[in-house]
Amino acid sequence: MVKDDLITELKRLRLPAMADNLDVRASQAEEGKLGYLEFTQLLVQDELASRESNSFQKRLKSAGVSNRMTFETFDFEFNNAVFPAQTIRDLASCRFIDQHRNLVLAGPPGIGKSHIAHAVGHEAARRGLDVVVFKTHKLLERLAPDRFSTKKSQILMKRCINAGLLILDDFAFRLYSQQETELLYTLSDERLQEGSIVITSNRPPEDWFSIFPDQIVGGAIMDRLVSGAVKLIVTSGRSFRKEGALRNQISEPAA
């Protein structure tokens, strides 16, 4: 049959979405009396949509972005007092990324900083950007040549520098070595005014100086990460983890 041959040929041409939607689009064309060009356009749109979806999923997987932490799953009312909904929705626009500005999210544990950071990563990936997400200390461990393959470290460093968005979660979680400090300087300097960095931290930026062994290099890092950045720095907030655990305990039936 012509249809079967066409489906086989479309798959050979690596146009699987066109092949999968051929029956549906042919029926629509017949019922709506579509012309050849309209029919072809619909099939091409199916293929483009499929490829964009597949590309998006690959970007998410490569980025390390959590599938659970999106703006669709974010509770905008829970911590509205410290993270106003309008402010968070503005971050979802990724305007700060277009402006090559950094984003600093600092405050107590459990208030939603990582969720916001990962959700921004989702939005950036949807816009076609290559996103890289790491716990800061784990990234530094992988970038250190004496702890990891030198070639792999170099490839990872290049990817972090060139990514459309770099997300450093749990920044200033511990003291950094001289080597790690220099790696952070390289990252922050290479991305300055070229690409955005999202930073989450349980400490406010003024406390970051103490984590660097070299105050001069540390000051240079601070200048590149914080100066001109969009800042959401809070000193209090409700904990999703604590209140979520409490709700779960209340909802559990008594033994």
Highest mean pLDDT: which range of 5-14, 26-35, 40-49, 214-223: 214-223
Q: Which residue has the higher pLDDT, 196 or 57?
A: 196
Q: Mean pLDDT lowest for which of 1-10, 32-41, 172-181?
A: 1-10
pLDDT of residue 251: 42
Calculate mean pLDDT across residues 3-8.
Answer: 75
Q: What is the mean pLDDT of the chain?
A: 86
Residue range 27-67, pLDDT digits in tens: 887 887 787 788 788 888 877 776 777 666 777 776 777 78
pLDDT of residue 201: 97
The CATH architecture of the domain made up of 85-242 is 3-Layer(aba) Sandwich (3.40)
Range(s) within the chain of domains with CATH label 3.40.50.300:
85-242
With helix as H, strand as E and coil as C, how does the chain read? CHHHHHHHHHHHCCCHHHHHCHHHHHHHHHHHCCCHHHHHHHHHHHHHHHHHHHHHHHHHHHHCCCCCCCCCCCCCCCCCCCCCHHHHHHHHCCHHHHCCCCEEEECCCCCCHHHHHHHHHHHHHHCCCCEEEEEHHHHHHHHCCCCCCHHHHHHHHHHHHHCCEEEEECCCCCCCCHHHHHHHHHHHHHHCCCCEEEEEECCCHHHHHHHCCCHHHHHHHHHHHHCCCEEEECCCCCCHHHHHHHHHHHHCCCC
